[in-house]
Structure 1
Amino acid sequence: MNYVSIDIGGTFIKYGVMDTNHVFQFQSKVETKVNIDDAIYHQVEAIITEQKHAYTISGVGISTAGIVDRNKGEIVYAGPTIPNYAGTAFKKRLTERLNVPVYVENDVNAAMLGEVWKGAAKGADNVYCLTLGTGIGGAHYDNHRLIDGANLKADSIGYLLYDPETKLNYEQRASTSALNNVLKSELGNAFHAEKAFELARSGDMKCYDVIYKWTAEVAKGLAQIILMKDPAIILIGGGISRQGDYLLNLIKNQLTIFLPAHFLNTELKIAQLYNDAALYGAVFPFFKED
């Protein structure tokens, strides 16, 4: 038995096939098409069909941007990153078309499940996951379940901290995309996050200053999460989490500025599965009784 795992983002669709030993037989990715005439749904269907020709497929797990009704397996809200996406009924259409069980989950929720199953939060409870990427996503895992909210919109933290003067919210100031924009604006088009971190580690003060200011913006949002949720652990995920302890220490050193004195008890950790976390989490429902 094998399971197709698919992670739909605004830029790429990543996918792989996991066997019963929780090992990916292979992984690949394709560019996400502009979502006209259900283009993304058709990409997903084509990926699954291709894998059914190569493997015996017992189920499909989908991680996706947008707010998901996991019972219906349907997108109920999507921001501007993927247009025309709300209403996409993955579970109903794929089950009818391909005759396989399908789970659909929000991508940050899926990343959380992956980290709780196989990553930095293995065996833990009351964990908050924040992913830094094109935007910023949040997920809260408490009492061994995901916390969704009454309207499935809990932890839409990218919209926190809106500033009417700049007209920017949390993710527009603190996402990896925001960091890249500032680097290009202040240091030139050749600069991006990975290069800037490398130079900052080597003593480049211009890069360090930009990164320092950006991590202060990240810390502001983390402080709000701690004040509202009081999680035991906060995981920092997304591709930039590969910067590891260097990134974590910059955030930690500024986090207390935004909290009352002696208030911080939450442990901050770097996610271990990086960009694969959601691929693990997408298929976790098939294995959770293991």
Structure 2
Amino acid sequence: MAEYLSIDIGGTYIKYAFMDKQGKLHGHSKVETKENIQQALLKQVESIVDEALSICTVSGVGISTAGIVDREKGEIIYAGPTIKNYKGTAIKQHLIDKFDLPVHVENDVNAALLGERWQGAAVNENDVFCMTLGTGIGGAYYQTSLMDGFNHRANSVGYLLYDEKTKTNYEARASTSALSKMIHNELGSDISTRDVFERAKRSDDACYSIIEIWSKEVAKGLAQIIILVDPKCIIIGGGISAQGDYLLDHIQKQIAQFLPSEFLKTEIKIAQLYNDAALYGAVYPFFVTGD
């Protein structure tokens, strides 16, 4: 049976899964992302495609990736420190040359937003902003199409709110990496983020306080997005979105303090596809264009 292969390249893991012609995702797997020396990352992707071809007929490969992507060329045109030596990586052309398959490449947050508009929290909605909370923080905006900016650098929200005193930006204070650092500093390294949420739900004051402080930092950035873009809704994605309404309640109750009185009209939602959103969005173009 013919399938599409969806690959999500992150700084910590490369996740992948198959999608059938009915748009159902299955066969999830992941590998740790190697240090990107001598095109190690491309070699990992090659290996994943090779493995998939040994299992079934692959009709196309969709790539979701960290970094800023020129989607026409399928090339990384800017990359932060998450993946070293990544700028200039021509993923699309490399895979086409190697496997002679149709390939789409998209920034991971754009892909997550496409996934949520396709089968998630904002089906067929316009004026939707997506922010993913993970190792870093990424943003994407769909007005009537994906809005990239003139130099493809729009929505790089992790770089917002730079503080000269602490030498930190929004990402350094509000990512899940920042939350993990807070947890380790306050409670030790033997407690996980999931544990902290569970304890907070059971009225553990120390855990509740950590989540409250961190979610306030998240809310500060969301307020900037609302002021600048005025989206109909903001979708919060990334692995921590699995915390659902409990996470949403913590964040939502703090946004208004960073906005003018009665300014908040934007609906805040949790991603319905959770950490799979980018896997859906990576292959979505095949279902639109048919190639």
TM-score interval, normalised by the smaller of the two chains: over 0.9
How far is the alpha carbon of 1:289 from its aligned partner? 5.3
| 1:62-81 to 2 correspondences below 5 Å | 62-81=63-82
Query: Does the CA contact (< 8 Å) of 1:180 and 1:191 recur in 2?
Result: no
Partner amino acid, structure 2, of 1:167: K
- Measured against aligned partners, the alpha-carbon deviations of 1:98-135 in whole angstroms (never above 9, x if no partner) come to 10010000000000000000101112111000110101
Residue 52 of structure 2 corresponds to 51
Unaligned runs of 5+ in 1: none
Distance 1:239 1:56 in 2: 30
Partner amino acid, structure 1, of 2:146: L
RMSD over aligned Cα atoms: 1.0
Residue 30 of structure 2 corresponds to 29
SS at match of 1:203: coil
| 1:241-256 to 2 correspondences below 5 Å | 241-256=241-256
Residue 139 of structure 1 corresponds to 140
Distance 1:58 1:243 in 2: 35
Partner amino acid, structure 2, of 1:140: Y
Distance 1:99 1:250 in 2: 48
Partner amino acid, structure 2, of 1:259: L
Unaligned runs of 5+ in 2: none
Distance 1:13 1:286 in 2: 21
Residue 124 of structure 2 corresponds to 123
Query: Does the CA contact (< 8 Å) of 1:3 and 1:61 recur in 2?
Result: yes
Distance 1:151 1:25 in 2: 35
How far is the alpha carbon of 1:136 from its aligned partner? 0.5
| 1:131-280 to 2 correspondences below 5 Å | 131-143=132-144, 145-280=145-280
- Measured against aligned partners, the alpha-carbon deviations of 1:18-47 in whole angstroms (never above 9, x if no partner) come to 110112341111111110000000111111
Distance 2:125 2:180 in 1: 33
Distance 2:285 2:279 in 1: 12
Residue 108 of structure 1 corresponds to 109
Query: Does the CA contact (< 8 Å) of 2:25 and 2:280 recur in 1?
Result: no
Q: TM-score, normalised by structure 2?
A: 0.97
Distance 2:289 2:35 in 1: 37
Distance 2:214 2:18 in 1: 37
- Measured against aligned partners, the alpha-carbon deviations of 1:245-267 in whole angstroms (never above 9, x if no partner) come to 11111111110000000000000
Of 22-31 and 201-210, deviating more is 22-31
SS at match of 1:4: strand
SS at match of 2:275: helix
1:42 aligns with 2:72: no
Distance 1:24 1:192 in 2: 28
Partner amino acid, structure 2, of 1:7: D
Distance 1:101 1:180 in 2: 39
Q: TM-score, normalised by structure 1?
A: 0.98
SS at match of 2:288: coil
Q: Which runs of 4+ in 1 moved over 6 A?
A: none
Distance 1:54 1:135 in 2: 33
Of 206-215 and 222-231, deviating more is 206-215
Question: How many residues are treated as equivalent by the alignment?
Answer: 289
Partner amino acid, structure 1, of 2:261: A
Distance 1:114 1:214 in 2: 27
Distance 1:50 1:128 in 2: 35
Partner amino acid, structure 1, of 2:219: A
Of 243-252 and 153-162, deviating more is 243-252
SS at match of 2:189: coil
Distance 2:55 2:116 in 1: 28
SS at match of 1:212: helix
